[in-house]
Chains A and B, each alone.
Chain A
């Protein structure tokens, strides 16, 4: 096991999303302490840890919804620490949200179209891309439905479709599987893989469902109390979590 801070980027600097030694405190509580995390294109990185470990803070810092007190965020070789979320989004960084951010009054297809148009696609192309993504996410039958009428699981899928419509190089998925029925998890894992393999993007997957994360991720980083606890391939993390659970109780494996 190696700590994340020591991990070196093997690829060219242009293909990495990186948080370097970021720290963030809220009213004296240290949500993140000197955390380094890397996502390369064409890989799925899992981020797990108990509630309050700093996962959401890290996603916010990466996506530009929050600024680190210390440390830097790098996107495709550029220091984007001072960039806001919209600018990072235009530079190829997409995210999904824990809570649905679908436009409730727009149809499912329109929700995806807005995202495609936002990066400059022609209307016809945007519609075509929306249809393709809805099919990928299994939402094609709901294309004309108003987003406010979607079930929880379908909302999650719409969030992913919308993120992909911006043709991102990196996708941050904040608990995308929460609310998905157990039976649909394998299908969702396939979607995450296709984001990596067909859309050629890097994925940061934050989820409480450890089985899903173990199944789909190339690499996993474990946060606990704002610090990196472990980092490595799923098999190694699995073994570590078992050890941790034996000594520390279940908290690290949650």
Chain B
């Protein structure tokens, strides 16, 4: 890749996209850690948050954002209670297929809900002003770009503190390592799972806020493509290792941004091809994930 083509603008944008994807990767990775469940419907949480922002556009932004968090957290908790909990102990394949179905169900529901003006798609205005650019060291940067990077860094930092320094964090790591033994040692599984689901919902709501600034037109398929790309990043990073999975999410976001910036405008159609080819190559060469120690045994599933 000719580096001269990559200007500072593209670099900053790519970092911001990487940060958003990293937040989604953490959201997916947290739930996978304790439930061994790949939540394909994660993007639909983002979609629900985005629709909430769209439908509450006429309120004060703070109200609108609060509503977004409330809806996403409520939906996430409801899904955990109604779907994930009864499925506990099922094979990963069953759970994955169920989350597929869930993703498309939620999309279908969105299509029913979203009938204003007979057109599908709702523009979000709430925090649109974050699209204004500011000048940072001679580079024009949109405020939302800065927000995404700051949010990514702050949230990952907070999460590191939470997992490393608190009781619930220690319990989550223990449960992620060996759920049965953790339960045997008195770790309360429902609390740990509930907390992971809650955290992942908070992240989904944050992602909804940032994404709707970048792409204000909310459609039923909102967040779906991002989920696929992030899942790929998570797999590349190593599904059972939260931090490398996050790094994988960031890497694929960053790479997407970079390739997008480098490709001529009329060639952007090749972007997904390039990204997914890269991913297949990585998985062929390093099936355990990009960051797996060489020769490491496959981690035993709970």
Contacts and interface: CB of A to CB of B under 8 A. Distances in A.
Contacts of B182: 103, 114
Contacts of A162: 185
Contact of A90 (B171, B173, B174, B186): B186
Interface string A98-121: 000101111000100111011110
A235 interface: no
Interface string B181-204: 111111100000000000000000
A57 interface: no
Nearest to A63: B184
A90 B186 CA distance: 7
B187 A114 contact: yes
A85 interface: yes
Given A103-B181, A104-B177, A119 B186 contact: yes
Contacts of A194: none
Nearest to B176: A105
B174 A89 contact: no
Given A103-B178, A123-B167, A118 B173 contact: no
Interface residues on B, range: 10 to 19
B181 A118 contact: no
B170 interface: yes
B224 to A, nearest CB: 32
Given A104-B177, A105-B177, A114 B185 contact: yes
A178 B225 CA distance: 52
A118 B174 CA distance: 11
Contact of B186 (A89, A110, A123): A89
A114 B167 CA distance: 8
Contacts of A117: 167, 170-171, 186
B170 A118 contact: no
Contacts of B177: 103-106
A105 B184 contact: no
A26 B34 CA distance: 32
Q: Taking chain B's interface residues, is the majority helix, strand, or loop, or is none over half, making it mixed?
A: helix
Contact of A118 (B176, B178, B186): B186
Interface in B160-182: 167, 170-171, 173-174, 176-178, 181-182
Interface in B68-114: none
Nearest to A114: B174
B246 to A, nearest CB: 15
Interface in A37-86: 85-86
B183 A86 contact: yes
A101 B170 CA distance: 16
Contacts of B173: 103, 105-106, 110
Given A103-B181, A106-B177, A115 B186 contact: yes
A113 B178 CA distance: 15
Contacts of B184: 85-86, 89
Nearest to A112: B185
Q: Which of B170, B174, B177, B186 has the most CB of A within 10 A?
A: B186
Given A103-B174, A115-B186, A118-B185, 5 more contacts: A86-B183, A104-B177, A106-B177, A114-B182, A114-B187
19 contacts: A85-B184, A86-B184, A86-B186, A89-B185, A101-B178, A101-B181, A105-B173, A105-B176, A105-B177, A106-B173, A106-B174, A110-B173, A113-B170, A114-B182, A114-B187, A117-B186, A120-B186, A162-B185, A166-B185
The 10 closest A-B pairs by CB, nearest first: A118-B186, A103-B177, A118-B185, A115-B185, A114-B174, A101-B181, A86-B183, A103-B174, A105-B177, A119-B186
